[in-house]
Amino acid sequence: MSILAPIDWFFIIAYFSLIMGIAWWVIKRQKNTSDDYFLAGRNLGWFVVGASIFASNIGSEHLVGLAGSGATDGVAMAHYELHAWCLLVLGWVMAPFYMRSKVFTMPEFLEKRYSASARWVLSLISLVAYVLTKVAVGIFAGGIVFGVLLPEMNVLGLNSFWVGSILVIILTGIYTILGGLRAVAYTEAMQTVILVVGSVLVTIYGLDALGGWEELRRVCGSEMFNLWKPLVPAGMEGSWAPVKTSSQMAWYFNTNYPWVGMLFCAPIIGLWYWCTDQYIVQRTLGAANLTEARRGTIAAAMLKLLPVFIFIIPGMICFALAASGKMESISAAMLDAQGNVINENAQQAFPLLVASVLPAGIRGIVVAGLLAALMSSLAGVFNASSTLFTMDFYSKLRPKATQQQLVHIGRIATLVMVIIGLLWIPVIQGSRGLYDYLQSVQGYLAPPIFVVFFFGVFMKRLNAKGCLATLGVGFAMGIFRLAIDTPVALSKSFAYTEGSFFWIINNIFFQYYSLLIFLVCAATMLIVSYATEPPSYSRISGLTFGTLSNKDKAENRASYTKADVIWSIVVLLLIMAAYLYFTG
């Protein structure tokens, strides 16, 4: 039975009509060229850039995964959301190099900085990463939302989970395939407004149903409100050693979000995602100039501060309503017989709150916001994937391809990515939690990419051989861990022998393993580069800080004003305030 009233359906239909209307308006004005299809003609303004970055990021992993993490672990995952400062690094540090190089893709920038081989390797890694994370996770989250809101739906033998997954793909794919980045960016700007308004309403109505902020703090307790919550159980002795005794080994490896990992690993994943991932940076590349690109990143950083309060807090509210017994329907869905949160069901926290606390009409607006986030997230990765495949693979294999052929291949690439993503859903279903799954896979794939981009920009001596060795070693270590983890994720009955090598690898907390990959990659990059010949500095002119010309420096200084600096400082101060509030 649907929990949606007729007025809710009115708002949902109105939302889809608005989105499709915007997409159609953009498509009719589209030029059938690769520059226009993949980068929106490089004339996006700062608000569209910022809103599009935010909407692409705030997708399924937040609506379903981040809220679920809030219900199980409190504000622990707010570390990732408070990485809004990474967007400032994109705007102030990396964007000048990207805009100056006039590239379509991040792998193309690596080709200019290192070699053509580096471009191919990163393109392959990025496409694999999109399949493992963004595409499949987006589809899976769509199914979760529909499963809660329309539990009795059944079409041709498919339940609401699969109907929702497929429906989200089709609706998103229509305007993404036809309209390219311009359609994606303009619809995302509108979706950002709907998403923020809807999520704020969920927080307000949820707190009202619970009894206010102080009641939330009372039920959840101080640990759920502490970013650095104590992680050593009573009777256990803290240790830096990877293994102490057999009785303590399982505790050590399975500790939730240890502060060491958060402090040192989370920034690496954050800088990779916000500053080097095609999925995010493509919006910056579509900006009219460096000024608009930088201001777009500042706007996105300001918006990025919201998820702690509009996703994590609602997840905690859902837990509090269940734990306090104030809503029996939520308690029945979230808690087991002993009153503990069921991790798999925690992923339903946000849609459960929507279904339980919102009045008719308001519920329709919020559901539209849910769908907006799911669609914008998928649309962004569809477009990024097609851009990578078309510009980094097909255009190299067919250098004489026409602009129309490139656009056509980009549309076909989108369809292929969707099919592969559907096949990967069973792996995600077996994982501990959606947000955990996403962060762990990113933690395995991010370090080598972070190293070759950031080390490459700051150190002009690093060369193509060092880059290829780093990508190869880092990617192999990440795939090895995924190969070890996947059988356990697919089958709850499968387990490695306790104490064996594979068991240890499988149980090492993902952030510690990610740090290991980073250290190995950093060493590989430096050793191989300095053991071989230096790059041609004339070839990499303008692509590193050490090879900037006076003209490059002057253009960069002319691209910002005092207002840009002030707003960047405001973002940093707000981040510090959030850390102070959620500490202790």
Q: Residue 573 has which token pair?
A: 């101060």
Predicted local confidence at residue 240, as pLDDT: 42
User: What are residue 520's phi and psi, to 5 degrees?
Assistant: -65, -40
Task: Domain of residue 16: give its range.
Answer: 6-231+255-424
Q: Which positions ≥6 away from 117 have C-beta within 8 Å? A: 464, 468
Q: How far apart are CA 569 and CA 23, in angstroms?
A: 35
Contact 227, 582 (CB under 8 A): yes
267 falls within a domain: yes
Predicted local confidence at residue 29, as pLDDT: 67
Contact 288, 43 (CB under 8 A): yes
CA dist 427 → 132, 138, 422 (Å): 9, 14, 10
552 falls within a domain: no
| pTM recorded for the entire structure | 0.79
Contact 305, 550 (CB under 8 A): no
Question: CA nearest 521: which of 531, 533, 529, 509?
Answer: 529
460 falls within a domain: no
Q: Residue 537 has which token pair?
A: 């500095």
496 falls within a domain: no
Per-residue pLDDT of the chain (584 residues; tens, 9 = 90+): 456 778 888 888 888 788 778 777 776 766 655 555 555 556 778 888 888 888 777 765 666 677 777 887 778 777 777 888 999 999 999 999 998 888 888 888 999 999 989 988 888 888 877 776 677 666 666 666 666 666 666 666 666 666 766 777 777 777 677 666 666 677 777 777 877 888 888 888 888 888 888 888 888 777 778 776 544 444 444 444 343 334 444 444 444 556 676 678 888 888 998 999 887 888 888 888 999 999 999 999 998 888 888 888 888 888 888 888 788 777 777 777 776 777 667 777 877 888 788 888 888 887 777 777 677 777 777 777 787 888 788 887 788 877 778 777 877 887 777 777 667 666 555 554 555 566 677 788 889 999 999 999 999 999 999 999 999 999 999 989 888 887 776 666 778 888 788 888 887 878 888 899 999 999 999 999 999 999 998 889 999 999 999 998 999 999 999 999 999 999 999 999 988 888 75
Contact 454, 97 (CB under 8 A): no
Contacts 24+ apart (CB under 8 A), 107-112: 107/278, 107/388, 107/392, 108/391, 108/392, 109/453, 109/543, 110/452, 110/453, 110/456, 110/467, 112/540, 112/543
Predicted local confidence at residue 237, as pLDDT: 46
502 falls within a domain: no
For residue 134, the domain's CATH number is 1.20.1730.10
* Single-letter code of the amino acid located at 176: T
398 falls within a domain: yes
580 falls within a domain: no
396 falls within a domain: yes
Helices (H), 78-157: 78-81, 85-89, 95-101, 106-113, 116-130, 136-149
Q: Residue 433 has which token pair?
A: 């939690």
The count of domains in the chain is 1
Contact 18, 371 (CB under 8 A): no
